Amino acid sequence: MSNITRVRVEVKKKYNDPHKNFKEMFQEFKRRVSNAGILADHKDHQYFETKTQKNRRKKMATVKRFHMEALSEKIMSGERVKAPSGLIKKVLNGQKKENKRDSQSQERGFHEK
């Protein structure tokens, strides 16, 4: 028997304008459904996936993450890398985001030990 989590998303009217109110309510509904993870859960359970398929998918994700980390280390060390340009751009964009996040945390006074 599977675990079922029931989530109730309730949105109430704010104004008397039916058109504007519906748009705002629908946006709020979508946001709440997204935050609750209902659609992601539905997509995960849309098709049956055997244990072997789940394990294979998780293993492939781990291998992909490992390769990306190795690629980013090579790029950051200045080594010339032979990889598709899309991957290199993805790694460089991720590095920029990390650097930006680090600089913002340092500005706020947070320091890693």
Read off φ and ψ for residue 38, nearest 5 degrees: -70, -45
Residues for the chain: how many in total?
Answer: 113
pLDDT at 58: 95
Distance CA 95, CA 19 (A): 44
Digitized pLDDT (tens) for each residue of the chain, 113 residues in all: 455 666 676 777 666 766 667 788 888 888 888 888 888 888 888 889 999 999 999 999 999 899 888 888 888 888 888 877 777 787 878 777 777 777 777 766 655 54
Whether 113 maps to a domain, the answer reads yes
The total number of structural domains that make up the chain: 2
pTM for the model stands at: 0.51
Whether 3 maps to a domain, the answer reads no
Distance CA 93, CA 78 (A): 16
| Residues 37 and 58 both lie in one domain | no
> Tokens representing 106?
């340092």
pLDDT at 110: 58
Whether 112 maps to a domain, the answer reads yes
| Residues 59 and 106 both lie in one domain | yes
- Contact, 79 vs 71, CB < 8 A? no
Domain assignment of residue 101, given as a range: 52-113
pLDDT at 109: 67
| Residues 79 and 111 both lie in one domain | yes
